[in-house]
């Protein structure tokens, strides 16, 4: 099971196990109002990670923590590019690059742009990289779950 | 982790109207109708999990409570459909009968909710009286279609689950001379899901938990000063072999305040005073008291007959 917290997506945490994903939030502002109104929620949530590492720590054990700090976001050529260096407790894990097409027009050329980038990479003799454009839900669209799944796929060493 | 300070009491069905008008006067707010479906999950008994974690700390297996609101259309039958959806409707629920049945909750837990169940109707705040009414009008039609859907053979669904609140509660604080019940609650919010087998049941199974039992609460609540919330509840256990109302003949009264940080001693003390003054104000009328903490213990090894 993987747990990915996106600080650039309202601190939502996606839990992924096998091919299913669950989106959770620890932000009070993101709780559906109906859940607070009927008393289901106290209005003060915490992250699923802290619940897993406290109340469920007899079932779940955290094996590894990979963290990306101080990343950069660039807008170029119709792409939103996010770059961050990843570290685990044992040291540098690699450079993570997230590429996102902006408008739907730009999305049409997305594949071509990726191919361009890959061509550049092979030009400068970089072969040790992994890309993922997988989707958890081919038929429906859950952006943050797909993104988390791509992170997992790209980071599975 | 939230600290919930609470007091409980009960009244008979006959005293309901008078209590409503008393509380409306005290709180200065009208009663608001609400409902919640609570489902309780326990660690999968087929897994042999130790009660000790990797740091050799004792972790007692706890039940998980998943709860959410339901569209009122699921809860009212034809005879109530034309009544306005306000506190008076609770007087119609005097026995075990409730429209919600086990197969409907099963569909909800497997996210095979009828397509006609628009997410809008479940997520809009029901604080607004008008909202509630328009909800029901839409709901009436849906209810019929819902029945049709339910009969259709269920197929494996990859439908995303809707939002749930996931809570794990500690046993209330011990001590003989406690004036209020104080319970620590850890909570997170499940917003949605995706992928294969993404129903809430599958997700809980993946976490290592299985369904144990469920109950439905319909009630009215008053928002009072100092964050105090007072609820009058009717509770049904929803089981495969029929529903039973636990609060038959009366209402459970719960008065509570949530304190967002357990370390905020000043706030906790203050909150205790607020609850005690409510108790004093209602003295001789309703007896608000501290429940047996054992009955609010959600650990698996203890209190296996919670209800």
**Minimum mean pLDDT range among B40-44, B116-120, B219-223:** B116-120
Q: What gap in Å lies between CA B245 and CA B144, rounded to an integer?
A: 25
Q: Give the minimum alpha-carbon distance from A101 to chain B in angstroms, rounded to a whole number.
A: 21
Task: Locate all alpha helices (DSSP H) within A19-86, ordered by sequence.
Answer: 33-37, 48-53
> Which has the higher per-residue pLDDT, B60 or B116?
B60
Q: Look at the block and give the residue holding tokens 């400068």.
A: A124
> Which has the higher per-residue pLDDT, B305 or B167?
B167
- Confidence (pLDDT) at B86: 86
Instruction: Classify burial at A145, counting beta carbons within 10 Å of its beta carbon; exposed 0-12, middle 13-18, buried 19 or more.
Output: buried
- 8 A C-beta contact, residue A40 and residue A67: no
> Which has the higher per-residue pLDDT, B132 or B233?
B233
- Confidence (pLDDT) at A110: 85
Q: Which residues pair with B2 in a beta bridge?
A: B185
Which tokens is B277 given? 């003054």
- Confidence (pLDDT) at B204: 94
With contacts defined as CB-CB under 8 Å, which chain B residues touch A134?
none
- Confidence (pLDDT) at B63: 94
Interface confidence (ipTM) of the complex: 0.90
CA distances from B33 to B90, B122, B182, B225 (A): 9, 14, 26, 19
Which tokens is B12 given? 């008979």
Which tokens is A98 given? 């997230």
Q: What gap in Å lies between CA A73 and CA A81, rounded to an integer?
A: 6
| pLDDT grade for B129, boundaries at 50, 70 and 90 | very low
With contacts defined as CB-CB under 8 Å, which chain A residues touch B207?
56, 59
**Residue-wise pLDDT tens digits, B92-102:** 888 888 888 89
Kindly report the pTM of this predicted structure. 0.84
Question: Within the 50-109 window of chain B, which residues sit less than 8 Å (CB to CB) from chain A?
Answer: 50-55, 57, 59, 61-62, 67-69
């Amino acid at each position: 099971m993987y747990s990915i917290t996106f600080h650039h997506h309202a601190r939502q945490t996606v839990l992924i196990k096998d091919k299913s994903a669950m989106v959770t939030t620890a932000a009070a502002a993101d709780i559906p109002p109906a859940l607070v109104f009927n008393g289901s929620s106290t209005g003060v949530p915490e992250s699923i990670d802290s619940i897993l590492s406290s109340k469920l720590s007899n079932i779940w054990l955290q094996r590894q923590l990979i963290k990306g700090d101080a990343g950069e976001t660039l807008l170029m050529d119709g792409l939103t590019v996010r770059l961050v260096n990843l570290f685990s407790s044992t040291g540098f894990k690699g450079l993570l690059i997230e590429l996102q097409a902006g408008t739907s027009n730009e999305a049409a050329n997305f594949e071509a742009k990726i191919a361009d980038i890959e061509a550049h990479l092979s030009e400068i003799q970089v072969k040790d990289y992994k890309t993922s454009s997988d989707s958890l839900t081919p038929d429906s669209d859950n952006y943050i779950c797909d993104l988390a799944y791509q992170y997992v796929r790209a980071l599975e060493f | 982790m939230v600290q919930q300070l609470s007091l409980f009491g009960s009244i008979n069905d006959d005293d309901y109207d008078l209590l409503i008008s008393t509380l409306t006067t005290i709180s200065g707010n009208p009663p608001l109708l609400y409902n919640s479906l609570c489902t309780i999950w326990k660690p999968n008994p087929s897994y042999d999990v130790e009660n000790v974690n990797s740091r050799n700390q004792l972790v007692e297996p706890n039940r998980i409570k998943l709860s959410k609101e339901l569209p009122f259309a699921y809860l009212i039958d034809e005879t109530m459909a034309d009544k306005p959806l306000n506190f008076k409707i609770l007087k119609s629920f005097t026995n075990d009968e409730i429209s919600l049945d086990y197969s409907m909750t099963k569909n909800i837990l497997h996210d095979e909710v009828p397509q006609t169940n628009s997410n809008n109707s479940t997520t809009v705040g029901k604080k607004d009286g008008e909202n509630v009414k328009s909800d029901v009008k839409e709901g009436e039609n849906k209810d019929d279609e819902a029945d049709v859907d339910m009969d259709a053979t269920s197929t494996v669904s990859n439908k995303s689950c809707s939002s749930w609140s996931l809570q794990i509660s500690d046993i209330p604080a011990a001590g003989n001379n406690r004036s209020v019940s104080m319970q620590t609650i850890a909570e997170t919010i499940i917003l949605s899901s995706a992928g294969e087998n993404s129903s809430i049941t599958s997700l809980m199974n993946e976490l290592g938990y299985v369904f144990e039992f469920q109950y439905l609460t319909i009630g009215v609540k008053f928002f009072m000063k100092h964050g105090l919330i007072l609820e009058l509840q009717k509770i049904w256990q929803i089981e495969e072999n029929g529903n039973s109302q636990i609060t038959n003949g009366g209402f459970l009264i719960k008065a509570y305040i949530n304190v967002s940080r357990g370390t905020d001693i000043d706030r906790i003390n203050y909150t205790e005073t607020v609850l005690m003054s409510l108790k004093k104000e209602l003295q001789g009328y309703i007896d608000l008291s501290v429940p047996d903490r054992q009955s609010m213990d959600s650990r698996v090894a203890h209190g296996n007959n919670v209800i």
